[in-house]
Amino acid sequence: MKAIQMTETGGPDVLKYVELPTPRPGAGEVLVKAHAIGVCMPETMVRKGTYNWMPPLPVIPGIEMSGTVVEAGSGVRALRVGQPVFVSAREFKVRAGCYAEYLTAAENQVFALPEGIDLDLAAGLSNYQVAWHLLNTALKGFQYESVLVLAAAGGVGTALVQLAKSYAKHVVGVVSSDARAAFAREQGADAIVDRKCGNIVDQVKELTAGRGVDLVLDMAGGAGTLALFDCLDRFGQLILYGRLQGPPAGNMHGAIEKAPVRSLGFRHFTIHTLDDWPELRARATHELIHMLYEGTIKPPIYERVPLAEAPRAHRLFESGQVMGKIIMKP
């Protein structure tokens, strides 16, 4: 089979298109032939060697794939040959393996898809897994009616906008251009803040008659995080779910208690909190599959890139111009 393999970490060119033996399914396993493969942030971190859950090298990277079962090992009962499936390496001990034409997995680590579902779109469900847990699991019953989504035109940002709208929330998307603003509105954003056109806090206050929003979802961190507390209404909550610009910088306690005191909350979320909770991961994924099939969510595909061009896919992903999802086709 053809696959992308890494023997060292570094820039996109460490992703080598190679020929490897096609794996065979063992007892209780299925062989999945890839239809489409998603490109995600964790894979760029694995490539660079900065991921806290690095797989051992050499490795076939990749955490999500849609495809079809083409062979079943002994004892397989739940899946059949010809079954369309979604594969998430979040179910694997080693979070990798999807940048390949074929993959083996235990049948209880593979999610059956309904007949007729769009397999290209199904390959983009990984971002929606993160978004689902941000808007459900991480909130622990927190009640909100309005949400500010930073990077609203990105992969997880798009998923957050679509899911929040499906929950009938008022969504304000933060973007960086007119084109990204139009895209975020197409995904369901009710209002837009363009960070290139002025202070985010001032724009949010103007949009909300001075009140602010109930929930802020930030994936960047760094020096800009603490100012986002000023976007919150009383009893509001800020969730940081990434640190692309590093940990929050400055006096967080002071930012939370800044007058007028609003009794604000902060949470740092990582999906790795759920690494030992497969039942909840499965519940979220099954719900998302149903929402995709019903048309409630629809991952917007920015470009389809041949698997052989994985280095180009990573360069494109890191260019800052992508709106929605990149998928690779084997």
Domain ranges for the chain: 2-124+299-329, 127-272
Position 133 scores a pLDDT of: 98
Q: What percent of the chain has pLDDT over 90?
A: 96
Position 237 scores a pLDDT of: 97
* Distance, CA of 239 to CA of 267 (rounded, Å): 5
Position 244 scores a pLDDT of: 81
Question: Is residue 163 predicted with pLDDT exceeding 90?
Answer: yes
Question: Is residue 246 predicted with pLDDT exceeding 90?
Answer: no
pLDDT digits (tens, 9 = 90+) for 291-326: 999 999 999 999 999 999 999 999 999 999 999 999
Looking at domain 127-272, which of 2.40.10.340, 3.40.50.720, 3.40.1790.10, 3.40.30.10 is its CATH number? Answer: 3.40.50.720
The pair of structure tokens assigned to 151 is 């990077």
Measured in residues, the chain has a length of 330
The structure tokens 């009640």 sit at 143
The mean pLDDT of 270-287, rounded to a whole number, is 97
pLDDT digits (tens, 9 = 90+) for 54-89: 999 999 999 999 999 999 999 999 999 999 999 999
Q: What is the mean pLDDT of the chain?
A: 96
Which CATH code fits 2-124+299-329?
3.90.180.10
Phi-psi region of 8 (alpha: psi -120 to 50; beta: other; left: phi over 0): beta
CA dihedral over 197, 200, 206, 207, signed as positive or negative: positive
The structure tokens 């739940």 sit at 78
Position 75 scores a pLDDT of: 96
Question: Is residue 241 predicted with pLDDT exceeding 90?
Answer: yes
DSSP states along 75-129: T--S--TT-EEEEEGGGSSSS---SBSEEEEEGGGEEE--TT--HHHHTTHHHHH
- CB 209: neighbour CB atoms within 10 A? 7
